[in-house]
Structure 1
Amino acid sequence: MSPLKLESPVFKDHHLLPPRYTQDAGNVSPPLTWSDVPDEAAELVLLCEDVDAPSGSVVHWTVVGIDPQSQGVEAGRTPPGGTVLANGFGRRGWSGPNPPPGDQPHRYVFHLYALAEPCVLPDAPSAEQVHDTVEERELTDGTLIGLYEH
């Protein structure tokens, strides 16, 4: 099955995230668009994680139950039909990039999964829990990587 196409109108894959979408400025979730969702998808799951955090991968955003007929999400919004889970900072919703000063640019990986059946995750899942849970239900997925440094 072909991968999902995941993009943003405000940054390109492997390019810098604008400050508005980080904790340095507005801390607003970035707008995203997606396509090529299989007809048999029951739901979409969105995960954004900092894979370069010093303590290991940190979850910045997890949304489950996204309508597979949707085609994206506007800045600062919850994807259509989605339920936002607590992130690695103990808050519900988006917590933008905030890497330690002096670090090389961190990679913020947005993963979008199309699942054959709905999944159940803990209220504040780790990135590993999300990956493990969706793996057996996954039809296809797509990624988009944003970079950020102070």
Structure 2
Amino acid sequence: MRVTKRTNIAFRVLMFCGVHADRLVTKAEIAERCNTSESHLAQVINRLAQLGYLHTQRGRAGGIMLARPMAEIDVGGVFRHLEAQAPLAECFADVDNTCPLVSACRLRDAMAGAAEAFYGHLDRMTLDDLICENVALADILNPPRCAKRA
């Protein structure tokens, strides 16, 4: 199973917002610290806001923040919301499925079970589990401090 770039970026955004839960963050900050373009971020942020994971505020003093507590954002749910459109294999697609084995294929059922196990494992984790006491993550997502000049 391969995670799409959109989902990968979405988790960077959610983790960044979680580390900075005490304030609004900007798209530019996220782009810089998470090594992604602002144009990709805009699409992902819009989708996460539509799904109720982010609150966005426009304007000069605007920004982005989590729309709910980190303990209420389950990782599996986010994956399901973002990956639902991407079929696991051709035989899972509603359109463009040309596989002649679909009616007799046991591999499809095996893959469906494996995907459900994958999501089931992620369902037991929250954004809080990814961030809480993760000092290394906080170090990466916080901008470097300037040294004081004498």
TM-score, normalising length: structure 1 = 0.25
Q: Which has the larger radius of gyration?
A: 2
Greater strand proportion = 1
Greater helix proportion = 2
